[in-house]
Structure 1
Amino acid sequence: MSCNHTIHKHHHHHGWDNSIAPALTVKPGETVEIDTVDSSGGQLSATATLDDLKALDFGKVNPVTGPIHIDGAEPGDAVAITFLDFAPSGWGWTANIPGFGLLADAFPDPALHIWTYDTSLGKPAAFSPMGAVAMKPFVGTVGLALAEPGLHSVVPPRRVGGNLDIRDNSKGTTLYLPVEVAGGLLSLGDTHAAQGDGEICGTAIESPMSVQVKIDLVKDANYPVPRLETSGPVTNHIDGMGYQVTTGIGPDLMQASKDAVSGMIDWICQATKMSAVEAYMLCSVAGDLRISEIVDMPNWTVSFYFPKSVLG
């Protein structure tokens, strides 16, 4: 579709700062096509190697395109962002970055996988040595400026959005973000071609792409935190063959999460003979970490769902 406005990827910045001048001003109801840079900040490419990963400058990661000033947005309102469509690039990367991810202690060495995929999203992307992952593009980082002055890291999610990594912020979804400053100052980036719930190794299929959005305003919404509304089912692209499910049970949700994921990695390695770090990265882009039970004290149940369709 043709949008009212376009922002090119050179209008990007690192961190949230309400003093950054808007790259664009829009009226509620207008549409914008936003070009993004991948989460490496362009340091990795379709021909990247492990040496490129090792040389990453973390001061350049997670750039976001913007900001966009929304006419009439005031503190207490909410900006509504509807994701209309995505134009994927056809390549992406997934990495195990030392010190990062749910199982960082178990996987101290760097690893990198470069993906190529069908930009029509008509077929799954192959994973070496085996497996294929269905694509579902979405925006990993999307947020507004904080009222607190100064530069704030993009890495943690916040009440005004940010690095949410909710894989259902995809086509058809409307995301509502609380406004803290006049104009809202919306920016987004960190686009992913696919990700499982939890993004357990710390990366998804990190892939640059253009995003088409419609921007609206809800006056006096007074939302304390982000909320979203999907336009339909969210997992029917992978559900057809069912799941393998492992669990973690205990009084600590983090440890139970680690146990559930570790169990799935062990199963994948046994079933396919792929390396543990490959299984870890594959789980990050295709498997879903869920809290199944959090009321039967003293122990809670965390489950990890891995689609059978990935391994055929």
Structure 2
Amino acid sequence: MTHIGTRMSSIPPVARVKSGETVSFDCLDASNGQVTPATVATSLRTLDIATLDQVNGPIYIEDAQPGDTLQVDILEVSTAEWGWTGILPGFGLLADEFPTPSLKIWDLPAGQDFAWFDKLKGIKIPLRPFAGEMGVALAEKGPHSTIPPYSTGGNIDTKHLTKGTTLYLPIQVEGALYSTGDGHAAQGDGEVCGTAIETPMKTTVRLTVLKDKSHVKTPHFSTPSVSEDPKGYYCTTGVRPDIREAARDAVRHMITVLMVEHDLSREEAYMLCSVAGDLRMHEVVDMPNYVIGMMMPKSIFGHKSV
């Protein structure tokens, strides 16, 4: 079952499980089915924003009490054979600079571990599927939109939460009330244009209540490895006294590199930053300025290295 647009403790659970049991979810994409392989860019203007980032659940976990921690072991994640990345008016780090909608439909063949961004230019994206939405209910009375992240999880959009990773969430209400959704086939750190490779998703998790990890107050995760790109990265930076403006500069500079050196349109470059580029904090102590980097993995470029 899907609930749309809100995360709150008053939504009745769709299932009850014991601590340590597994649960499987079959989720629509972040558009709640509004985007299909036949959708065109102009249709993005009429998306019903109130129904974006819907989630499946909630699941009531027996013996879960406020102050406990929910351990979420991610056992399986699979995507549909298609996905989409869009520039939505009003969304994204550079929303004021990209007011016109743009849309890319991706082919995600079963069993393939990459997707072509542009086959003629040799640009392909490794697929590392994960759920952008993973969270439990807030104790504070709602409704609460599912679009932001919260201290109890939600739209945390963390690309490392792939198969084999364990997520820890602080429980604020009886039963925890776990929900998930927003399937991503791939995403860069930051998801700068506001969308990843959005796709319908099937996922299986094991939900375990921990009584001895009450120090968890925000989402934590443990991952077996974080694979760095074997060919290295090309990085642009932003240097500003304001972190957000430094981040915006870093992305702008990468867009310019991709346009000049890889012959991408401005819109294509922005979307590539969102699905493959990692936005990271490089320097935060030498006041008054911060250094934010946009790191692009070189291995995605088959015909030419940055």
How high is the TM-score relative to the length of structure 1?
A: 0.93
Partner residue of 2:277 out of 267, 287, 298: 287
Q: CA deviation at 1:310?
A: 1.5
Displacement of 1:28: 1.1
Return the alpha-carbon distance in structure 1 between the equivalents of residues 5 and 242 of structure 2. Answer: 34
Match of 1:33 among 16, 21, 24: 24
How far apart are the structure 1 equivalents of 2:3 and 2:126?
Answer: 29
Output the CA distance in 2 between the equivalents of 1:147 and 1:200. Answer: 30
Q: Which secondary structure state, in structure 1, belongs to the residue aligned with residue 60 of structure 2? A: strand
Equivalent of residue 304 in structure 1, options 280, 286, 294: 294
AA aligned to 1:137 is P
CA distance in 1: counterparts of 2:13 and 2:242, whole angstroms: 43
User: By how many angstroms is 1:19 displaced?
Assistant: 1.2
Pair 1:144-2:136 in alignment:
yes
**Letter of the structure 2 residue corresponding to residue 65 of structure 1:** N
1:157, 1:163 within 8 Å by CA — same for their partners in 2?
Answer: yes
Equivalent-residue separation in structure 2 for 1:187 and 1:117 (angstroms):
25
Contact 1:13 1:66 in 2 (8 A): no
Displacement of 1:11 after TM fit? 3.7
> How far 1:220 sits from its partner (Å)?
4.6
Q: Partners in 1 of 2:254 and 2:33 — Cα distance?
A: 32
Q: CA deviation at 1:153?
A: 0.4
CA distance, structure 2, for counterparts of residue 37 and residue 158 of structure 1: 22
List per-residue Cα deviations over 1:255-292 (Å, max 9, x = no partner).
Answer: 11111111110000001221111100011000000001
Matched AA of 1:184? A
Q: Which runs of 5+ in 2 are unaligned?
A: none
Q: For 2:46 and 2:4, locate their aligned partners in 1 and report how far apart those are by CA, in whole Å.
A: 21
What is the Cα-based RMSD across aligned positions, in Å? 1.3
Task: Give the letter for the 2:233 counterpart.
Answer: Y
Q: 1:96, 1:109 within 8 Å by CA — same for their partners in 2?
A: yes
Match of 1:126 in 2: 116
Q: Aligned pairs, how many?
A: 299
The residue that corresponds to 2:222 in the other structure is 229
Q: After TM superposition, what 4+ stretches of structure 1 lie above 3 angstroms from structure 2?
A: 10-13
Match of 2:97, SS state, is coil
- Deviation (angstroms), 1:87: 2.1
1:46 aligns with 2:44: no
Which residue pairs with 1:204 in the alignment? 196
Matches within 5 A, 1:31-110: 31-110=22-101
Moved more, 16-25 or 125-134: 125-134
What CA distance in whole angstroms lies between the structure 1 residues aligned with 2:162 and 2:47? Answer: 28
CA contact (8 A) 1:87 1:119 kept: no
C-alpha separation between the residues in 1 aligned to 2:83 and 2:178? Answer: 25
Alignment of 1:253 onto 2:246: no
Flag structure 1 segments of 5+ consecutive residues without an equivalent. 1-9
Residue of structure 2 equivalent to 1:241: 231
Structure-1 separation of matches of 2:44 and 2:248: 25
| Greater alpha carbon shift after TM alignment, 177-186 vs 112-121 | 112-121
SS across alignment from 1:241: coil
Q: For 1:308 and 1:101, locate their aligned partners in 2 and report how far apart those are by CA, in whole Å.
A: 24
CA distance in 1, matches of 2:4, 2:71: 22
Distance 2:251 2:141 in 1: 39
Q: Once the 2 structures are TM-superposed, how far is the Cα of residue 31 of structure 1 from its aligned partner?
A: 0.9
User: Which whole-Å deviations, capped at 9, do the CAs of 1:216-241 have from their partners, x for residues lacking one?
Assistant: 11115222211111022x234xx122
1:185 corresponds in structure 2 to 177
Alpha-carbon distance between aligned partners in 1 of 2:142 and 2:277, rounded to the nearest angstrom? 37
C-alpha distance in 2 between matches for 1:20 and 1:180: 15
Change beyond 3 A, Cα 1:11–1:301: closer
- Between the two proteins, what is the percent identity of the paired residues? 46
